Structure 1
Amino acid sequence: MKKIFLLLFLFSISSNIGAQKLGKNKQVVIASVEKHKENLIKISDSIWALAETAFNESKSSKVLADYAEENGLAVTRGVADMPTAFTATYGSGKPVISILGEFDALPGISQKAQPAKEPLKAGAAGHGCGHNLFGAASLGAAIAIKELIAEGKIKGTVKFLGTPAEEKYFAKVWMVEAGLWNDVDVNISWHPGAEIEADVQSSLSLIDFIVEFYGQAAHASSDPWNGRSASDALELYTTGINYYREHIKPTSRLHYHIQDGGQVVNVVPDYAKIWVRVRDPKRKVMLPTYEHVKKMAEGAAIMANVDYKISLVSGIYETLVNRTGGEIMQKNLELLGPITYTEEETTFGKAIQKATGKPEIGMDSKIHQLKETEENPGGGSTDVGDVSWNVPNINLRVTVAPKGTPWHSWAVVACGGMSIGHKGMVHAAKAMAMTMVDLFENPKLIEKVKEEFKVRKGDEKYEPMIDGPPPIGNN
């Protein structure tokens, strides 16, 4: 009955969002993004070159916060007990529309802005998820709205949130706990991708935890019987995980990363450490799997006759979709139209595809239609999910790399440091600013977005999956 009601509700709201035209305020925010474009590209390129990882993004965060401050937004740094997290706000009263900006990089995938694999700095990090573009585009949209408020053309508050450590640790969970979205009516977000669409798909819920095994060291040859091997426990544990994979839901995922399996071959290791991750499109499915995998650690410790300790890192919810917001975003994408690429950019894109073994079809620049929301989507996870369970979230995906490009790879880093990435960033900034204009101008749209949020959330009580302060010093 609940599903029938939801379908009827979604049909009614979708038919009520009328055709839009490129009104004056939308023309103004587009012009604002164009005005700031060169500076936004410089910011993005600076963050791209810095390539700072989770909770180390001191310079990247400063670049964004400084530019927000220069443009009249009130900046508060170090929010939620995280030195690289910040807010930048302008205006007063309702509505309050927030927008997310990420800026952390991924370890070990440094790359020059070229279509052949070659690190910018050997062993360094790189922006293989386009977060250098993410933060800059969102700030550009926030500044465009700030200028409209300052000119008295709209009323309310715009709130940019600089959110660190999305690739590891998921800082937004602590930011939610700190109440940074308590006054927000609607949140806007985007993510770099390989096509342009209003994103109405969920993500995978996830939980991260560390298992440590403690044994007794001994000489591996002269008296191994005096040793109790922590690495034996670790190997037994990973064997159990690998056998268990056959018996979990097809939608679920289990990953692990061995962080310490012993230091030398001639010592029975007395310490071992493994990072484990469990995922599923539904948190209620993921949690029982998590509990069972924890029990398996105890079993491994018993078999190896060692002690063990489990520490929660953090966990995140799946994204709560909002199709009403998606339709608003979709109409603005259609107003903007596709991205146009030069011959050189198309050649660059095809070279990336060739280098990564993909069909050489170039860039996908068209505006994709709004898709049906899948019950169990594949893909990755994001701490935007936790935001979306606390405030309605409207999400966007924009092309910054050629079709089929492996994500979290050198190929995305290459595109994010040149004009293909820049064009996607500017396009995203315009689309998000235009969508915020709709929300500021039409309070009824906000109410419709909120109504869907309430229906989809139902009686689910949000419970953050963290235990203690942000793990700032764990890098």
Structure 2
Amino acid sequence: MQEARQHALAWIDRQAARISADHQIVWNLCEPAWREYETSRWYAERLAAEGFAVERGTAGMPTAFRARWISPAGPGPILASYAEYDAVPGNAQDCVPFRKTRADLHETAPGFIDPHSALGIGSLYGVLAAKEAIARAGLRAELRLHGEPAENMCGGKPMHAAHGFYDDLDAVIGWRPAALRTLANTCVWDTHCGCYWSRVYTFTCDDPGSWGDVSGDGNAASHPHVRARTPGALDALCLMYTTTKYSKEAMLPHAGSWSVNEAILSNASTTANNQAPRFAQIQYSWRAPDIAMAERILSVLENNARHVAALTHTTVRGDWISRTRPGLPNHALAEIVYANMQAVGAPRWNDGVADFANACLASAGRDAPAEPFAREMSALADPRDAERALRATLPPWQTHYTSDDYVEYTWHAPTVKFLVGRARLADSNPSLEWINVALGGLPEAIDPTIVTAAKVIASTIVELAADPASLKRSREEFNHRTGGGIGGASWIAPLMDTGGPSPASFAWPDYARAGERKGWIVPVTAGACD
């Protein structure tokens, strides 16, 4: 096993230049959630060229995929990782030490804040390195890499889970670039992510004429400019927005790190004339540490929507975008991964990266510290110590924190989530977030994070393929926590419905393409897409 692991690590080192170049490709594509067309195609073509069988458009999602490779020695345990690749609108910062939107992009176009560009490339090369080592060592295994769209809406994985794509997995190794100082270069231990639920409410005015003629003078009311107009869908949307703002304070006690956010989706059903808007859509997304709290928020939203529809002469329909389950720990697998993290070590950055960050700070009118990055980003943290540090900020009853849709894997197979430090400012002021975006595109800053993650993934996959006892311990813990595995007494089934419209079908932020030109489709200033 040790020889196979070393082969995987050496292979990654030899690929360093290509890893960096591939990350730049994805970072520059910067496509938003559900619209990662070019990025998902790039991954699919790359995996096919590496000998994987690739299914595209999985679970009804155009930008999702599943890639599978079986060892020449024959089938074995099914070991999986995943790539995420969606960018976030409003973060199109260029890789320069001052505020500047990327060339040919609008200032509200997407960029990588997490950065998912690094996450996907790290997973890709971890799986490819494991493939090389497993084939060379004659081990038996099946490797999978899932392409997961729209993680920033927690969208892809709940759909894959509901369609059964995870049911035959033996282990899942997930990661992300660290966002919290308390969770860097470590594994999540007990306090996994909680629930993220998202729903689009569509208000429709199907029969505006039935609102009625109350003018008393049929001749006067016959002209559309003076006719009493039904409130319609736009009024419904506005009333839903304000009603929910008023009722938000009464949804739950102010504890447990829950939140509710909204977005108004584009509405091209009418212009500003005397015709009632026929439809309007608003998306609500909420985070809560457990299902009971998420259900309470849902009940308030549903009640608001029903009453608003009645007041505005509309009908309302709700469609799920995401509905995640709270994450399930697996200590056995976390211990295996952290041991491999210790062998690989935390990432390190050269002095030029700090110089770049300090130049950014200077351009923002800030003093340059001797060390701009949090020290935790380049130091290992035992998962138990990281857990204690995280829990120091949480009430004792709260078992889950924040949101991420990797939790869907945890209910179908032993799953680990590890976090790798990145060159991220110690100063967490939101006005400086553009600097972290710029650092995510700087090869000297982000490549060490990607390489570290790839090595941990490859090492872990090789170990699980070579050591059935490791898999057995992880599976036994999974079965214990679920009360018997999938379908067990304590198991939670997928919460998404496979019969509704695909979450990808709504009017999400997108690019307008004309030949090789690409412009943001919802400009805020004239000529933004010229």
Q: Distance in 1 between matches of 2:119 and 2:482?
A: 27
Q: Deviations over 1:339-394 (max 9, x none)?
A: 22111112223445664979944232111221227563676422211121111211
Q: Deviations over 1:95-140 (max 9, x none)?
A: 1110111112222321211232211122422122211111111111
Q: Deviations over 1:74-101 (max 9, x none)?
A: 3333333333322222223221110111
1:95 to 1:358, Cα distance in 2 relative to 1, 3 A: farther
Q: Distance in 2 between matches of 1:48 and 1:293?
A: 36
* Secondary structure of the corresponding residue to residue 327 of structure 2: coil
> Which residue does the alignment assign to 1:244?
247
Note if 1:368 corresponds to 2:381.
yes
> Which residue does the alignment assign to 2:160?
175
Contact 1:128-1:411 within 8 A present in 2 as well: no
> Which residue does the alignment assign to 1:256?
262
Name the TM-score, length of structure 1 as normaliser: 0.86
AA aligned to 1:206 is Y
Contact 2:263-2:284 within 8 A present in 1 as well: yes
Note if 1:457 corresponds to 2:482.
yes
* Secondary structure of the corresponding residue to residue 153 of structure 2: coil
> Which residue does the alignment assign to 2:145?
160
Contact 2:44-2:54 within 8 A present in 1 as well: yes
* Secondary structure of the corresponding residue to residue 265 of structure 2: strand
Q: Deviations over 1:179-237 (max 9, x none)?
A: 32222100011111243221233113122112233454999x97484432434433332
1:119 to 1:39, Cα distance in 2 relative to 1, 3 A: same
> Which residue does the alignment assign to 2:187?
198
Q: Distance in 1 between matches of 2:303 and 2:16?
A: 53
* Secondary structure of the corresponding residue to residue 110 of structure 2: coil
| Aligned with residue 337 of structure 2, among 329, 332, 346 | 329
Tell me the CA shift for residue 414 of structure 1. 1.3
* Secondary structure of the corresponding residue to residue 472 of structure 1: helix
> Which residue does the alignment assign to 2:37?
58
Q: Distance in 2 between matches of 1:289 and 1:340?
A: 43
> Which residue does the alignment assign to 1:210?
200
AA aligned to 1:401 is A
1:65-80 alignment to 2 at 5 Å?
65-80=44-59
AA aligned to 1:315 is R
* Secondary structure of the corresponding residue to residue 33 of structure 1: helix
- In structure 2, stretches of 5+ residues that fail to align are 212-220, 392-396, 484-489, 509-530
Tell me the CA shift for residue 68 of structure 1. 2.4
> Which residue does the alignment assign to 2:328?
320
Contact 1:390-1:462 within 8 A present in 2 as well: no
1:436 to 1:82, Cα distance in 2 relative to 1, 3 A: same
Contact 2:154-2:322 within 8 A present in 1 as well: yes
1:27 to 1:356, Cα distance in 2 relative to 1, 3 A: farther
Name the TM-score, length of structure 2 as normaliser: 0.77
Q: Distance in 1 between matches of 2:91 and 2:243?
A: 31
> Which residue does the alignment assign to 1:113?
95
Q: Distance in 2 between matches of 1:24 and 1:294?
A: 58
The alignment of Structure 1 onto Structure 2 pairs a total of residues equal to 453
Q: CA RMSD in A?
A: 3.0
1:301-450 alignment to 2 at 5 Å?
301-352=309-360, 355=364, 360=369, 361-363=371-373, 364-370=377-383, 371-372=386-387, 374=391, 376=398, 380-402=402-424, 403-405=426-428, 406=430, 410-418=434-442, 419-450=444-475
Q: Deviations over 1:274-301 (max 9, x none)?
A: 1112221112321232123111111222
Pick the structure with greater CA Rg: 2
Q: Distance in 2 between matches of 1:89 and 1:233?
A: 47
Q: Deviations over 1:306-345 (max 9, x none)?
A: 4333222332222222222222222222222222211111
Q: Distance in 2 between matches of 1:208 and 1:234?
A: 16
Contact 1:104-1:167 within 8 A present in 2 as well: yes
Note if 1:142 corresponds to 2:167.
no
| Aligned with residue 99 of structure 1, among 71, 81, 89 | 81
1:157 to 1:279, Cα distance in 2 relative to 1, 3 A: same
1:259 to 1:469, Cα distance in 2 relative to 1, 3 A: closer
* Secondary structure of the corresponding residue to residue 151 of structure 1: helix
AA aligned to 2:439 is C
Q: Distance in 1 between matches of 2:230 and 2:52?
A: 61
AA aligned to 2:435 is A
Q: Distance in 2 between matches of 1:28 and 1:228?
A: 68
Identity of aligned residues (%): 25
Bigger shift: 308-317 or 255-264?
Answer: 255-264
